[in-house]
Chains A and B, each alone.
Chain A
Amino acid sequence: MQLTVRTICISIINTDGAVQGVTCLIWVKVDFHSGEPVYQQIAQSMKGDIISGKLSRDELIPSIRELARDLKINPNTVARAYRELENEGYIYSRPGVGYFIKDSDKKTMEEKALEILAKEMAGIVDIARNYQVSRQKFTELVMQSINSAYGGDE
Protein backbone atom coordinates (compact mmCIF):
# COMPACT_ATOMS: atom_id res chain seq x y z
CA MET A 1 0.00 0.00 0.00
CA GLN A 2 1.20 3.45 -0.78
CA LEU A 3 0.31 6.35 1.33
CA THR A 4 0.54 9.91 0.23
CA VAL A 5 0.34 12.51 2.85
CA ARG A 6 0.13 16.21 2.66
CA THR A 7 1.15 18.04 5.72
CA ILE A 8 0.69 21.74 5.89
CA CYS A 9 2.33 23.53 8.69
CA ILE A 10 2.25 27.15 9.46
CA SER A 11 5.16 28.36 11.44
CA ILE A 12 5.75 31.55 13.26
CA ILE A 13 9.44 32.28 13.39
CA ASN A 14 10.87 34.96 15.52
CA THR A 15 13.91 36.43 13.80
CA ASP A 16 15.35 39.61 15.24
CA GLY A 17 12.13 40.31 17.02
CA ALA A 18 10.06 40.04 13.85
CA VAL A 19 7.32 37.50 13.58
CA GLN A 20 7.05 35.71 10.29
CA GLY A 21 4.50 33.28 9.07
CA VAL A 22 5.70 30.59 6.72
CA THR A 23 3.57 27.95 5.17
CA CYS A 24 5.25 24.83 4.00
CA LEU A 25 3.74 22.07 2.02
CA ILE A 26 5.22 18.64 2.31
CA TRP A 27 4.35 15.54 0.40
CA VAL A 28 5.73 12.35 1.75
CA LYS A 29 4.95 9.09 0.08
CA VAL A 30 5.65 5.87 1.87
CA ASP A 31 5.54 2.42 0.37
CA PHE A 32 5.51 -0.05 3.25
CA HIS A 33 6.10 -3.03 1.01
CA SER A 34 9.15 -1.70 -0.73
CA GLY A 35 12.47 -3.11 0.40
CA GLU A 36 13.60 0.41 1.28
CA PRO A 37 13.35 1.19 5.00
CA VAL A 38 10.52 3.62 5.76
CA TYR A 39 12.79 6.08 7.58
CA GLN A 40 14.98 6.26 4.48
CA GLN A 41 11.97 6.90 2.26
CA ILE A 42 11.01 9.87 4.44
CA ALA A 43 14.54 11.25 4.59
CA GLN A 44 15.00 10.78 0.85
CA SER A 45 11.73 12.52 0.06
CA MET A 46 12.58 15.54 2.21
CA LYS A 47 16.10 15.76 0.82
CA GLY A 48 14.58 15.97 -2.65
CA ASP A 49 12.27 18.79 -1.58
CA ILE A 50 15.11 20.69 0.07
CA ILE A 51 17.55 20.32 -2.82
CA SER A 52 14.96 21.26 -5.41
CA GLY A 53 14.09 24.33 -3.36
CA LYS A 54 10.50 23.34 -2.54
CA LEU A 55 11.43 23.70 1.09
CA SER A 56 13.60 26.67 1.86
CA ARG A 57 15.69 27.83 4.77
CA ASP A 58 14.18 28.31 8.19
CA GLU A 59 10.89 26.73 7.21
CA LEU A 60 9.41 24.71 10.03
CA ILE A 61 8.74 21.13 9.07
CA PRO A 62 6.08 18.97 10.76
CA SER A 63 6.94 17.74 14.22
CA ILE A 64 7.90 14.10 14.66
CA ARG A 65 4.51 13.28 16.19
CA GLU A 66 2.53 15.13 13.51
CA LEU A 67 4.26 13.38 10.65
CA ALA A 68 4.06 10.03 12.44
CA ARG A 69 0.31 10.46 12.86
CA ASP A 70 -0.19 11.50 9.25
CA LEU A 71 1.82 8.59 7.94
CA LYS A 72 0.38 6.21 10.55
CA ILE A 73 3.81 5.09 11.66
CA ASN A 74 5.78 4.96 14.88
CA PRO A 75 7.29 8.33 15.94
CA ASN A 76 10.64 6.55 16.33
CA THR A 77 10.74 5.97 12.59
CA VAL A 78 10.21 9.67 11.85
CA ALA A 79 12.74 10.56 14.55
CA ARG A 80 15.24 8.33 12.81
CA ALA A 81 14.63 10.07 9.47
CA TYR A 82 15.00 13.50 11.09
CA ARG A 83 18.20 12.38 12.80
CA GLU A 84 19.65 11.41 9.46
CA LEU A 85 18.56 14.73 7.93
CA GLU A 86 20.11 16.60 10.85
CA ASN A 87 23.37 14.66 10.73
CA GLU A 88 23.69 15.28 7.02
CA GLY A 89 23.07 19.00 7.44
CA TYR A 90 19.61 19.33 5.86
CA ILE A 91 17.70 20.40 8.94
CA TYR A 92 18.37 21.78 12.41
CA SER A 93 16.38 21.60 15.59
CA ARG A 94 15.44 24.33 18.02
CA PRO A 95 14.69 22.68 21.33
CA GLY A 96 11.10 23.13 22.31
CA VAL A 97 10.18 24.67 18.95
CA GLY A 98 10.78 22.08 16.27
CA TYR A 99 12.81 21.19 13.22
CA PHE A 100 13.73 23.73 10.54
CA ILE A 101 15.29 23.61 7.11
CA LYS A 102 18.96 24.52 7.31
CA ASP A 103 20.46 27.33 5.33
CA SER A 104 22.71 26.00 2.60
CA ASP A 105 24.54 27.79 -0.17
CA LYS A 106 24.05 26.81 -3.78
CA LYS A 107 27.36 25.00 -3.96
CA THR A 108 26.55 22.76 -1.00
CA MET A 109 23.13 21.98 -2.45
CA GLU A 110 24.69 21.04 -5.77
CA GLU A 111 27.13 18.75 -3.98
CA LYS A 112 24.26 17.06 -2.14
CA ALA A 113 22.31 16.73 -5.39
CA LEU A 114 25.31 15.11 -7.06
CA GLU A 115 25.66 12.73 -4.12
CA ILE A 116 22.07 11.55 -4.55
CA LEU A 117 22.44 11.38 -8.33
CA ALA A 118 25.59 9.27 -7.99
CA LYS A 119 23.61 6.70 -5.96
CA GLU A 120 20.74 6.68 -8.48
CA MET A 121 23.20 6.43 -11.37
CA ALA A 122 24.94 3.44 -9.80
CA GLY A 123 21.62 1.59 -9.93
CA ILE A 124 21.01 2.51 -13.56
CA VAL A 125 24.54 1.54 -14.56
CA ASP A 126 23.97 -1.84 -12.91
CA ILE A 127 20.82 -2.37 -14.92
CA ALA A 128 22.65 -1.46 -18.13
CA ARG A 129 25.43 -3.86 -17.29
CA ASN A 130 22.98 -6.65 -16.45
CA TYR A 131 21.26 -6.11 -19.79
CA GLN A 132 24.70 -6.36 -21.39
CA VAL A 133 24.46 -2.95 -23.00
CA SER A 134 27.88 -1.85 -24.27
CA ARG A 135 29.68 1.10 -22.72
CA GLN A 136 29.41 3.04 -25.96
CA LYS A 137 25.69 2.43 -26.46
CA PHE A 138 25.00 3.30 -22.83
CA THR A 139 27.01 6.56 -23.08
CA GLU A 140 25.06 7.46 -26.23
CA LEU A 141 21.78 6.85 -24.44
CA VAL A 142 22.82 8.98 -21.47
CA MET A 143 23.87 11.81 -23.82
CA GLN A 144 20.56 11.57 -25.65
CA SER A 145 18.64 11.89 -22.38
CA ILE A 146 20.79 14.82 -21.30
CA ASN A 147 20.29 16.58 -24.62
CA SER A 148 16.55 16.14 -24.57
CA ALA A 149 16.33 17.51 -21.03
CA TYR A 150 18.93 20.28 -21.16
CA GLY A 151 18.81 21.04 -24.89
CA GLY A 152 21.74 20.85 -27.31
CA ASP A 153 22.71 18.02 -29.59
CA GLU A 154 26.26 17.11 -28.69
Chain B
Amino acid sequence: MHAVQIKELCKSYKNSSFTLQINDLSLEAGSIFGLLGSNGAGKTSLLKLLMDIVRPDRGYIEILGHRPSEREKLQAKISYMPENKNLYHNMTVKKMLDYASAIIPGWDNDKALELKNIFPLEGKKRISTLSYGEKTQLYAILTFARSADLFILDEPTRGLDPIMQEQMLQLIKEESWQGKTIIFSSHQLGEIEESVDSLAMLRKGHMVLNGNLDDLKSELFLLKLEKSKISAIPPSTLDIIATHHQHKQSLILCQGGMEARQKLQADFAFLNTENVNIKDIFLLLMENGGEEE
Protein backbone atom coordinates (compact mmCIF):
# COMPACT_ATOMS: atom_id res chain seq x y z
CA MET B 1 0.00 0.00 0.00
CA HIS B 2 1.22 3.48 -0.83
CA ALA B 3 1.27 6.26 1.74
CA VAL B 4 2.17 8.87 -0.86
CA GLN B 5 1.85 8.93 -4.62
CA ILE B 6 3.05 11.71 -6.88
CA LYS B 7 2.57 11.96 -10.63
CA GLU B 8 3.68 14.61 -13.13
CA LEU B 9 4.09 17.19 -10.39
CA CYS B 10 5.31 20.64 -11.36
CA LYS B 11 5.79 23.76 -9.26
CA SER B 12 7.45 26.99 -10.31
CA TYR B 13 7.87 30.22 -8.37
CA LYS B 14 7.44 33.86 -9.35
CA ASN B 15 10.68 35.75 -9.95
CA SER B 16 12.67 32.55 -9.83
CA SER B 17 13.94 30.21 -12.51
CA PHE B 18 13.60 27.28 -10.11
CA THR B 19 11.04 24.64 -11.03
CA LEU B 20 10.36 21.48 -9.09
CA GLN B 21 9.39 18.56 -11.27
CA ILE B 22 8.63 15.08 -9.99
CA ASN B 23 7.27 12.71 -12.59
CA ASP B 24 6.65 9.58 -10.60
CA LEU B 25 7.23 8.85 -6.93
CA SER B 26 5.49 6.39 -4.62
CA LEU B 27 6.23 5.74 -0.96
CA GLU B 28 5.23 2.55 0.74
CA ALA B 29 3.22 2.79 3.94
CA GLY B 30 5.24 1.88 7.03
CA SER B 31 8.56 2.77 5.48
CA ILE B 32 11.16 5.43 6.16
CA PHE B 33 11.84 7.63 3.17
CA GLY B 34 14.86 9.91 2.94
CA LEU B 35 15.03 13.02 0.82
CA LEU B 36 18.51 14.10 -0.21
CA GLY B 37 19.76 16.97 -2.28
CA SER B 38 22.07 19.95 -2.18
CA ASN B 39 20.85 23.34 -0.95
CA GLY B 40 18.04 24.68 -3.10
CA ALA B 41 17.40 21.32 -4.77
CA GLY B 42 13.73 21.39 -3.83
CA LYS B 43 13.48 19.22 -0.70
CA THR B 44 11.57 21.74 1.39
CA SER B 45 9.38 22.69 -1.59
CA LEU B 46 8.37 19.05 -2.03
CA LEU B 47 7.52 18.67 1.66
CA LYS B 48 5.49 21.90 1.57
CA LEU B 49 3.56 20.60 -1.45
CA LEU B 50 2.71 17.45 0.50
CA MET B 51 1.51 19.60 3.39
CA ASP B 52 -0.56 21.85 1.08
CA ILE B 53 1.42 24.86 2.31
CA VAL B 54 2.15 25.59 -1.33
CA ARG B 55 0.09 24.32 -4.25
CA PRO B 56 1.42 22.79 -7.47
CA ASP B 57 1.05 24.35 -10.94
CA ARG B 58 -0.06 20.92 -12.11
CA GLY B 59 0.24 17.26 -11.24
CA TYR B 60 -1.26 14.72 -8.90
CA ILE B 61 -0.51 14.12 -5.23
CA GLU B 62 -2.24 11.56 -3.04
CA ILE B 63 -1.48 11.22 0.67
CA LEU B 64 -3.01 8.44 2.76
CA GLY B 65 -5.78 8.14 0.18
CA HIS B 66 -6.57 11.88 0.07
CA ARG B 67 -5.54 14.96 -1.87
CA PRO B 68 -3.35 17.39 0.16
CA SER B 69 -6.13 20.01 0.01
CA GLU B 70 -8.48 17.76 2.00
CA ARG B 71 -6.99 19.20 5.15
CA GLU B 72 -9.74 18.29 7.55
CA LYS B 73 -9.35 14.60 6.64
CA LEU B 74 -5.58 14.66 6.82
CA GLN B 75 -5.04 16.89 9.82
CA ALA B 76 -5.26 14.13 12.39
CA LYS B 77 -3.15 11.73 10.31
CA ILE B 78 -0.09 13.83 9.53
CA SER B 79 2.46 15.37 11.86
CA TYR B 80 4.83 17.91 10.35
CA MET B 81 8.13 19.36 11.49
CA PRO B 82 8.95 22.38 9.32
CA GLU B 83 12.38 23.59 8.27
CA ASN B 84 11.91 26.79 10.23
CA LYS B 85 11.71 25.74 13.84
CA ASN B 86 10.88 29.13 15.27
CA LEU B 87 8.12 29.01 17.84
CA TYR B 88 6.52 31.61 20.08
CA HIS B 89 9.63 33.48 21.29
CA ASN B 90 8.27 34.74 24.57
CA MET B 91 6.77 31.52 25.83
CA THR B 92 8.67 29.25 28.13
CA VAL B 93 9.22 25.62 27.15
CA LYS B 94 6.66 24.46 29.71
CA LYS B 95 4.04 26.95 28.61
CA MET B 96 4.56 25.98 24.96
CA LEU B 97 4.05 22.30 25.78
CA ASP B 98 0.97 23.03 27.91
CA TYR B 99 -0.44 25.15 25.12
CA ALA B 100 0.33 22.44 22.52
CA SER B 101 -1.38 19.76 24.62
CA ALA B 102 -4.52 21.89 24.69
CA ILE B 103 -4.72 22.75 21.00
CA ILE B 104 -2.99 20.00 19.00
CA PRO B 105 -5.42 17.29 17.88
CA GLY B 106 -4.44 13.76 18.83
CA TRP B 107 -2.02 14.89 21.56
CA ASP B 108 -0.89 11.94 23.68
CA ASN B 109 0.15 13.01 27.18
CA ASP B 110 1.97 9.74 28.01
CA LYS B 111 3.96 9.98 24.84
CA ALA B 112 4.76 13.62 25.51
CA LEU B 113 6.11 12.64 28.92
CA GLU B 114 8.35 9.97 27.37
CA LEU B 115 9.58 12.48 24.82
CA LYS B 116 10.38 15.02 27.53
CA ASN B 117 12.68 12.42 29.06
CA ILE B 118 14.38 11.79 25.74
CA PHE B 119 14.78 15.50 25.04
CA PRO B 120 15.31 17.00 28.49
CA LEU B 121 14.72 20.72 28.12
CA GLU B 122 14.43 23.11 31.01
CA GLY B 123 10.76 24.04 31.36
CA LYS B 124 11.51 27.54 32.65
CA LYS B 125 13.64 28.54 29.68
CA ARG B 126 12.22 31.05 27.25
CA ILE B 127 12.07 29.80 23.66
CA SER B 128 13.97 32.89 22.50
CA THR B 129 16.98 31.77 24.55
CA LEU B 130 17.08 28.22 23.14
CA SER B 131 19.80 27.20 20.69
CA TYR B 132 18.81 25.90 17.25
CA GLY B 133 19.37 22.34 18.44
CA GLU B 134 17.18 22.87 21.51
CA LYS B 135 14.41 24.34 19.35
CA THR B 136 14.63 21.23 17.19
CA GLN B 137 14.29 19.07 20.30
CA LEU B 138 11.24 21.04 21.41
CA TYR B 139 9.78 20.66 17.94
CA ALA B 140 10.50 16.92 18.13
CA ILE B 141 8.34 16.66 21.26
CA LEU B 142 5.57 18.63 19.54
CA THR B 143 5.80 16.48 16.40
CA PHE B 144 5.98 13.02 17.93
CA ALA B 145 3.59 13.53 20.86
CA ARG B 146 0.79 13.33 18.33
CA SER B 147 -0.59 10.06 17.14
CA ALA B 148 -0.23 10.29 13.37
CA ASP B 149 0.12 7.84 10.49
CA LEU B 150 2.57 9.94 8.54
CA PHE B 151 5.42 12.07 9.86
CA ILE B 152 6.87 14.67 7.52
CA LEU B 153 10.12 16.01 8.91
CA ASP B 154 12.19 18.77 7.34
CA GLU B 155 15.78 18.30 8.50
CA PRO B 156 14.85 16.84 11.89
CA THR B 157 18.45 16.36 13.01
CA ARG B 158 19.88 19.72 11.95
CA GLY B 159 21.66 21.40 14.85
CA LEU B 160 21.47 18.35 17.12
CA ASP B 161 24.51 16.96 18.88
CA PRO B 162 25.44 13.35 17.98
CA ILE B 163 23.61 11.87 20.98
CA MET B 164 20.38 13.74 20.31
CA GLN B 165 20.75 12.96 16.61
CA GLU B 166 20.86 9.26 17.50
CA GLN B 167 17.78 9.66 19.72
CA MET B 168 15.91 11.32 16.89
CA LEU B 169 16.77 8.53 14.46
CA GLN B 170 15.77 5.95 17.03
CA LEU B 171 12.43 7.72 17.44
CA ILE B 172 11.91 7.70 13.68
CA LYS B 173 12.66 3.98 13.52
CA GLU B 174 10.33 3.19 16.41
CA GLU B 175 7.47 4.97 14.68
CA SER B 176 8.13 2.99 11.52
CA TRP B 177 8.14 -0.32 13.47
CA GLN B 178 4.63 0.57 14.52
CA GLY B 179 3.62 0.86 10.90
CA LYS B 180 3.94 4.64 10.61
CA THR B 181 5.37 6.22 7.48
CA ILE B 182 8.18 8.73 7.84
CA ILE B 183 9.47 11.17 5.28
CA PHE B 184 12.52 13.15 6.22
CA SER B 185 14.99 15.39 4.50
CA SER B 186 18.61 15.63 5.50
CA HIS B 187 22.09 16.68 4.45
CA GLN B 188 23.63 13.90 6.52
CA LEU B 189 24.32 11.10 4.07
CA GLY B 190 25.38 8.82 6.91
CA GLU B 191 22.15 9.06 8.87
CA ILE B 192 20.09 8.56 5.73
CA GLU B 193 22.05 5.42 4.92
CA GLU B 194 21.61 4.07 8.45
CA SER B 195 17.91 4.65 8.74
CA VAL B 196 15.93 4.80 5.51
CA ASP B 197 14.26 2.05 3.52
CA SER B 198 14.03 4.09 0.37
CA LEU B 199 15.22 7.48 -0.78
CA ALA B 200 15.18 10.08 -3.51
CA MET B 201 17.91 12.45 -4.58
CA LEU B 202 16.95 15.88 -5.88
CA ARG B 203 19.13 18.08 -8.01
CA LYS B 204 18.02 21.53 -9.15
CA GLY B 205 14.36 20.60 -8.87
CA HIS B 206 14.64 17.26 -10.62
CA MET B 207 14.58 13.83 -9.06
CA VAL B 208 17.77 12.20 -10.33
CA LEU B 209 17.43 8.93 -8.47
CA ASN B 210 14.95 7.14 -6.28
CA GLY B 211 14.31 3.65 -5.00
CA ASN B 212 14.76 1.14 -2.23
CA LEU B 213 18.19 1.56 -0.65
CA ASP B 214 19.18 -2.11 -0.88
CA ASP B 215 17.93 -2.27 -4.48
CA LEU B 216 19.98 0.78 -5.42
CA LYS B 217 23.09 -0.76 -3.89
CA SER B 218 22.45 -4.02 -5.76
CA GLU B 219 21.77 -2.35 -9.07
CA LEU B 220 24.43 0.35 -9.16
CA PHE B 221 28.16 -0.01 -9.33
CA LEU B 222 31.20 2.13 -9.83
CA LEU B 223 33.62 1.69 -12.67
CA LYS B 224 37.14 2.96 -12.15
CA LEU B 225 39.42 3.21 -15.12
CA GLU B 226 42.12 5.28 -16.73
CA LYS B 227 40.68 8.12 -18.75
CA SER B 228 42.57 7.05 -21.84
CA LYS B 229 40.88 3.66 -21.83
CA ILE B 230 37.28 4.86 -21.93
CA SER B 231 37.26 4.80 -25.71
CA ALA B 232 38.03 1.05 -25.65
CA ILE B 233 34.59 0.31 -24.20
CA PRO B 234 31.68 0.51 -26.65
CA PRO B 235 29.15 2.97 -25.12
CA SER B 236 26.31 0.51 -25.72
CA THR B 237 27.80 -1.94 -23.19
CA LEU B 238 27.38 0.52 -20.32
CA ASP B 239 24.27 1.97 -18.74
CA ILE B 240 25.86 5.17 -17.44
CA ILE B 241 24.16 7.22 -14.71
CA ALA B 242 26.96 9.72 -14.03
CA THR B 243 30.63 10.25 -14.75
CA HIS B 244 33.37 12.10 -12.96
CA HIS B 245 36.90 12.69 -14.17
CA GLN B 246 39.80 13.33 -11.83
CA HIS B 247 43.41 13.59 -12.99
CA LYS B 248 44.01 10.54 -15.13
CA GLN B 249 41.17 8.52 -13.68
CA SER B 250 37.50 8.32 -14.56
CA LEU B 251 34.77 7.26 -12.18
CA ILE B 252 31.61 6.07 -13.86
CA LEU B 253 28.41 5.27 -11.99
CA CYS B 254 26.65 2.52 -13.91
CA GLN B 255 23.44 0.60 -13.63
CA GLY B 256 23.50 -3.18 -13.76
CA GLY B 257 23.29 -6.16 -11.45
CA MET B 258 25.98 -8.63 -10.47
CA GLU B 259 25.75 -10.57 -13.74
CA ALA B 260 26.24 -7.44 -15.84
CA ARG B 261 29.23 -6.53 -13.68
CA GLN B 262 30.85 -9.91 -14.00
CA LYS B 263 30.36 -9.95 -17.76
CA LEU B 264 31.89 -6.50 -18.06
CA GLN B 265 34.94 -7.55 -16.10
CA ALA B 266 35.32 -10.72 -18.14
CA ASP B 267 35.08 -8.77 -21.42
CA PHE B 268 37.39 -5.92 -20.42
CA ALA B 269 40.27 -7.12 -18.27
CA PHE B 270 41.45 -3.58 -17.41
CA LEU B 271 38.15 -2.65 -15.77
CA ASN B 272 37.65 -2.49 -12.06
CA THR B 273 34.14 -2.45 -10.64
CA GLU B 274 33.22 -1.56 -7.08
CA ASN B 275 30.15 -1.47 -4.84
CA VAL B 276 28.77 1.98 -4.12
CA ASN B 277 27.39 3.50 -0.96
CA ILE B 278 25.11 6.52 -0.66
CA LYS B 279 27.97 8.96 -0.42
CA ASP B 280 29.51 7.70 -3.66
CA ILE B 281 26.17 7.87 -5.45
CA PHE B 282 25.31 11.31 -4.08
CA LEU B 283 28.64 12.94 -4.87
CA LEU B 284 28.73 11.54 -8.39
CA LEU B 285 25.15 12.55 -9.13
CA MET B 286 25.40 16.03 -7.66
CA GLU B 287 28.64 16.89 -9.42
CA ASN B 288 27.43 16.06 -12.87
CA GLY B 289 25.36 13.62 -14.87
CA GLY B 290 21.82 12.80 -13.92
CA GLU B 291 18.76 14.30 -15.52
CA GLU B 292 19.55 17.55 -17.26
CA GLU B 293 17.19 20.41 -16.82
Contacts and interface: CB of A to CB of B under 8 A. Distances in A.
B177 A68 contact: yes
B272 A126 contact: yes
A33 B214 contact: no
A126 B272 CA distance: 8
Contacts of B215: 37
Interface in A34-72: 34-40, 65, 68-69, 72
B41 to A, nearest CB: 22
Interface stretch (B123-131, B143-151, B239-247, B274-282): B274-282
Contact of A35 (B173, B177, B272, B277): B277
Contact of B190 (A1, A65, A122): A1
Secondary structure of the B contact surface, majority rule: helix
A6 interface: no
A76 B280 contact: no
A69 B177 CA distance: 8
A76 B213 CA distance: 12
The size class of the interface chain A forms with chain B is 20 to 34
Contact of B217 (A37, A65, A130): A37
A33 to B, nearest CB: 5
B32 A74 contact: yes
Contact of B31 (A35, A69, A76, A130): A76
B217 A35 contact: yes
Nearest to A127: B272
A41 B170 CA distance: 21
B39 interface: no
A83 interface: no
A112 interface: no
A77 interface: yes
A103 B265 CA distance: 37
B109 interface: no
Contacts of A77: 197, 214
A33 B217 contact: no
A135 interface: no
Interface in A55-107: 65, 68-69, 72-77, 80
Nearest to B219: A37
A39 B177 contact: no
A80 B218 CA distance: 13
Interface string B164-196: 000000100100110000000000001001100
A32 interface: yes
Contacts of B217: 35-37
B280 A74 contact: no
A94 B190 CA distance: 37
A34 B262 CA distance: 19
B272 A34 contact: no
A40 to B, nearest CB: 7
Interface of B: 31-32, 170, 173, 176-177, 190, 193-194, 197, 213-215, 217-218, 221, 262, 265, 269, 272, 274-280
Interface of A: 1, 32-40, 65, 68-69, 72-77, 80, 122, 126, 129-130
